[in-house]
């Protein structure tokens, strides 16, 4: 596959090189990958038989530049399920192309991963949401994608997936149901919701007028990540679950004096650590209850 002009910078061979480098250094063969959002790296703490690789050592891998994103790939087990956790993700606003942002997802596919769980911190737009709520992502609005910032732009490599992938079932219904059932069983139904996540490029937080627009468009929460990874995961046939922690409310009127900042986002992530980890670990433990691959 040749890439030209403004096209994809991460070829199949580049993904393969990084994957083979990892597989030759670990006996782990993960089936589930977890991407930890801002301040959510603790999710990897309960892994057993851990083996970690710093991002800077992995061929072709980007490096983390944002506080709250540690920058290592951790292999191991959660309840006997082989997993790999990204302690730190990449964002468009860091200056990475979306191909680079999503390169780990394609490497996961090449190493045999079948399901990806994406987590993030986001601002609540839905007026019913409270700070600390966990939103199971039902659907998304890919705002940068509308403007041509899309990880699948450029020549399509059929070894990963088809040219025109369907996205209407990006977040598997069965996986969402399992996550919601588990939340109810854990007694968390008061603060676990479902909703639509919208991505903006960042790095600034929203103006009031922008927040109002996103709300009118049908977004329940807003962040600066996740959708590129989900899009690439769906393109290459991975099942997807998305969990978004509402770390702040996004002001929708001018009388609201609240000001969001990244430190607050990290603080709230830490506060909700235990609950999010309980949902995630129970979900992983029971993930084989949902074997069907949904596709349209
Ligand atoms: O989406 P994650 O990586 O969780 O991070 C969210 O938190 C950061 C802002 O505080 C932004 O990067 C936003 O996208
Ligand atoms: N864009 C955006 N990203 C976030 N990440 C965490 N909170 C927010 C927010 O309010 N807006």
- ipTM here: 0.99
Judge whether 236 and 105 are in contact, CB under 8 Å.
yes
Q: Give the integer Cα–Cα distance in Å for 58 and 21.
A: 7
262 touches ligand 1 (CB under 6 Å):
yes
DSSP secondary structure of 229-290: HHHHHHHTT-EEEEEEEEEEEPP-STT------HHHHHHHHHHTHHHHHHHHHHHHHTGGG-
200 touches ligand 2 (CB under 6 Å):
yes
Which pTM value belongs to this model?
A: 0.94
Which tokens sit at 28? Answer: 């782990």
Question: Which residue's CA is the nearest one to ligand 2's atom 10?
Answer: 123
Q: Which atom of ligand 1 is nearest to the CA of 223?
A: 14
Tell me the best of 67, 69, 91, 121 to mutate to test the pocket of ligand 2, counting ligand atoms within 8 Å of each CB and taking the most: 121
Determine whether the annotation assigns residue 53 to a binding site.
no
Determine whether the annotation assigns residue 56 to a binding site.
no
For the question of residue 69 being annotated catalytic, the response is yes
Q: CA-CA distances (angstroms) from residue 175 to 28, 165, 179?
A: 24, 20, 6
Question: Which residue's CA is the nearest one to ligand 1's atom 11?
Answer: 224
122 touches ligand 2 (CB under 6 Å):
yes
Q: Give the integer Cα–Cα distance in Å for 6 and 153.
A: 9
Buried-exposed string 141-169: b where 16+ CB fall within 10 A, e elsewhere: bbbbbeeebbbbebebbeebbeeebebee
Determine whether the annotation assigns residue 209 to a binding site.
no
Nearest ligand (C-alpha, residue 260): 2
Q: Which of 36, 38, 39 has the alpha carbon at shortest distance from 47?
A: 36
Q: Which atom of ligand 1 is nearest to the CA of 66?
A: 12
Residue 239 CA from chain centroid, whole number? 12
Per DSSP, the three-state class of 46 is: helix
pLDDT per residue as tens, the chain (296 positions): 434 433 456 789 999 999 999 999 999 999 999 999 998 999 999 999 999 999 999 998 999 888 877 899 999 999 999 999 999 999 999 999 999 999 999 999 999 999 999 999 999 999 999 999 999 999 999 999 999 999 999 999 999 999 999 999 999 999 999 999 999 999 999 999 999 999 999 999 999 999 999 999 999 999 999 999 999 999 999 999 999 999 999 999 998 878 888 988 888 888 888 899 999 999 999 998 886 544 44
In this predicted structure, what is the pLDDT of residue 9? Answer: 61
In this predicted structure, what is the pLDDT of residue 233? Answer: 98
Q: Give the integer Cα–Cα distance in Å for 200 and 198.
A: 7
205 touches ligand 2 (CB under 6 Å):
yes
The architecture CATH gives domain 12-289: 3-Layer(aba) Sandwich (3.40)
Q: Give the integer Cα–Cα distance in Å for 56 and 219.
A: 35
Distance 85 CA to ligand 2 centre (A): 22
Question: Which residue's CA is the nearest one to ligand 2's atom 2?
Answer: 223
Q: Among 33, 60, 69, 233, which one carries the catalytic annotation?
A: 69
Which tokens sit at 25? Answer: 């250094």
Determine whether the annotation assigns residue 89 to a binding site.
yes
For the question of residue 93 being annotated catalytic, the response is yes
* Domains in the chain: boundaries: 12-289
Determine whether the annotation assigns residue 2 to a binding site.
no
Judge whether 223 and 196 are in contact, CB under 8 Å.
no
Q: Which atom of ligand 1 is nearest to the CA of 38?
A: 4
Distance 207 CA to ligand 2 centre (A): 11
For the question of residue 49 being annotated catalytic, the response is no
Q: Give the integer Cα–Cα distance in Å for 126 and 238.
A: 29
183 touches ligand 2 (CB under 6 Å):
no
């Amino acid at each position: 596959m040749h890439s030209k002009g403004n096209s994809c910078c991460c070829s199949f061979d580049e993904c393969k090189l990084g994957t083979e480098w990892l597989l030759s250094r670990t006996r782990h063969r993960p089936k589930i990958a977890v991407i930890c959002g801002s301040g959510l790296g603790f999710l990897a703490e309960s892994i057993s038989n851990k083996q970690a690789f710093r991002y800077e050592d992995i061929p072709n891998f980007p490096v983390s530049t944002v506080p709250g994103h540690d920058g290592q790939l951790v292999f191991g087990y959660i309840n006997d399920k082989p997993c790999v956790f990204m302690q730190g993700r990449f964002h468009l606003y860091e200056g990475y192309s979306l191909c680079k942002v999503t390169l780990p997802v394609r490497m996961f596919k090449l190493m045999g991963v079948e399901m990806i769980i994406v987590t993030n911190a986001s601002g609540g737009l839905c007026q019913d949401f409270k700070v600390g709520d966990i939103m199971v992502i039902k659907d998304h609005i890919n705002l940068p994608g509308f403007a041509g910032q899309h990880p699948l732009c450029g020549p399509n490599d059929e070894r990963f997936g088809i040219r025109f992938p369907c996205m209407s079932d990006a977040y598997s219904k069965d996986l969402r149901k399992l996550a919601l059932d588990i939340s109810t069983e854990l007694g968390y139904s008061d603060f676990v919701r479902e909703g639509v996540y919208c991505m903006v490029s960042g790095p600034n937080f929203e103006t009031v007028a922008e927040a109002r627009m996103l709300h009118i468009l049908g977004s329940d929460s807003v962040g600066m990540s996740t959708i590129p990874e989900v899009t690439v995961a769906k393109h290459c046939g991975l099942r997807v679950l998305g969990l978004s922690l509402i770390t702040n409310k996004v002001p929708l009127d001018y009388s609201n004096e609240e000001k969001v900042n990244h430190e607050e986002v990290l603080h709230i992530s830490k506060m909700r650590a235990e609950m999010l980890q309980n949902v995630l670990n129970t979900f992983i433990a029971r993930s084989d209850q949902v074997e069907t691959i949904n596709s349209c």
